Chain A
């Protein structure tokens, strides 16, 4: 019961706890790094270097008024913020972290993640429509259009990996990379499309048009306050964590050490390298937020439909032809 086997109670509790703590830390890390990049300090008062800032924020949000606007549609208004952390946490169920560490080796793992990402778009849509606020409506519409558009080729871009590894199971995809080398090299176009689509799916900068605080206040979550806003917020960061964990699993060899730098224990080595690779991608996304500006909405949509979609389809055709020609 208390050993490192996939799906043991120890694994479930540890992974859930680790994801929640990592998401809380991530909020602090991002604020702090952005602070330094903007030549200011960022939150540095609560605990050493401000590391307990998120804990203080949770305490504040929990004791704030749980306000439901009298002009809103009550049920969808309350359900909307619950959806996004739930689906993002459920996606983590199929992420393999190390040999013997993971919640579930689903043989449809990749489809499970895509399905959960698809359900996530309900959150912003319902939140925006139920608020009965003009800015929320605009934000919700933008979120809906953006997320369903980028969902299409997010799915198509990783089909090249399915062809190469002949599996939807994320653990088998990692094992296939151990055998054939990182998939980022044969699937470079798929990789680029996936990262960009992932940014748009999680509504991260520079694709945060659904919130666009300089145009539409806070977009779909304008009328949200207290813990309901907190759930939207933490859901976004869990989504970023999920994306940062998914990219190493799909393209960078998962828990296997690069350049033969394994640590003595297989499980410790796996956890260390998985966390290290995830950390690199988190840092990349923070730098992207600091560096890039928001595109216009029609530019965002046309870029998706006219550049990313044909690119991912052509990538799929080329991958299929190469695999069939090699005959393996």
Chain B
């Protein structure tokens, strides 16, 4: 099949000229101001301290690696999807095994904590805060702790007692 690509090329050319053209027009028509805070960093009105070249949290790198693994997989699947009638059940079996291995990999990644965004310390704090049914309601618990006449030690004893009671009930 012979495809004439001229319309796409002309359209691309128009778009690529038009959009940056708007910036050029704006830089010609725009005003120029020079006040004492014009060239400051805007960080909620607070005077900026330190560099913005921060250390980046590790989960973002993990996400990028996961993307490379699973998007490559999508590239193979695209080639299979368009030729499914030609490759038949044999091709289907191979894709089935392929997807099964990837899903098993995803399960492993999940269980090994690759998809976890909290640090170990945050996870521990969260586990300590969880109330009945795993519900975390920090405000209500803090208020209850303030109102209660028990001190911290008694509170723990109470929790342990409840847990023991629940165990005995079973």
Contact = CB atoms under 8 A, between A and B. Distances in A.
A137 B7 contact: no
Contact of B31 (A8, A65, A134, A223): A65
Nearest to A94: B8
A212 interface: no
- Chain A interface bracket (under 10, 10 to 19, 20 to 34, 35 or more): 35 or more
A24 to B, nearest CB: 13
Given A65-B31, A106-B8, A313 B52 contact: no
Interface residues of B, number: 67
Interface in B77-99: 77-78, 81-82, 84-85, 88-89, 92, 95-96, 99
A133 interface: yes
Contacts of B154: none
Nearest to B9: A104
A106 B7 CA distance: 11
A148 B7 contact: no
Interface stretch (A31-39, A66-74, A246-254): A66-74
Nearest to A12: B11
Interface stretch (B35-43, B144-152, B158-166): B35-43
A208 interface: no
A310 B23 contact: no
Given A134-B52, A163-B81, A310 B42 contact: no
Interface string A64-95: 11110111000000100110011001100100
B22 interface: yes
Contact of A62 (B1, B10, B25): B25
**Which secondary structure dominates chain A's binding surface?**
helix
A263 B141 CA distance: 64
Nearest to A321: B92
Contacts of A104: 5, 7-8, 11
Nearest to B117: A298
Nearest to A225: B42
Contacts, number: 192
Contact of A148 (B52, B59, B67, B110): B67
B57 to A, nearest CB: 8
A148 to B, nearest CB: 4
Interface stretch (A44-52, A154-162, A265-273): A154-162
A174 B5 CA distance: 21
B30 A66 contact: yes
Contacts of B88: 324
Given A107-B1, A313-B103, A144 B25 contact: no
A107 B1 CA distance: 10
A134 B23 contact: no
A141 B60 contact: yes
Main secondary structure of the interface of B (DSSP, over half): helix
Contacts of A230: 22
B117 A132 contact: no
Given A145-B60, A316-B77, A321-B92, A62 B117 contact: no
Given A16-B15, A62-B29, A317-B99, A162 B81 contact: yes
B42 A217 contact: yes
A171 to B, nearest CB: 13
Q: A71, A111, A145, A149: which has the most chain B beta carbons within 10 Å?
A: A145
A135 interface: yes
Given A155-B78, A324-B89, A86 B60 contact: no
A321 B143 CA distance: 56
A65 B27 CA distance: 7
B26 A226 contact: yes
B52 A306 contact: no
B74 to A, nearest CB: 5
Given A66-B27, A324-B88, A166 B82 contact: yes
A153 B81 CA distance: 14
B108 interface: no
12 contacts: A8-B7, A16-B15, A70-B39, A71-B39, A82-B19, A86-B16, A106-B8, A152-B74, A159-B81, A306-B106, A310-B103, A324-B85
Given A162-B82, A306-B115, 9 more contacts: A7-B8, A63-B26, A132-B41, A148-B67, A228-B26, A297-B117, A298-B118, A317-B95, A320-B92
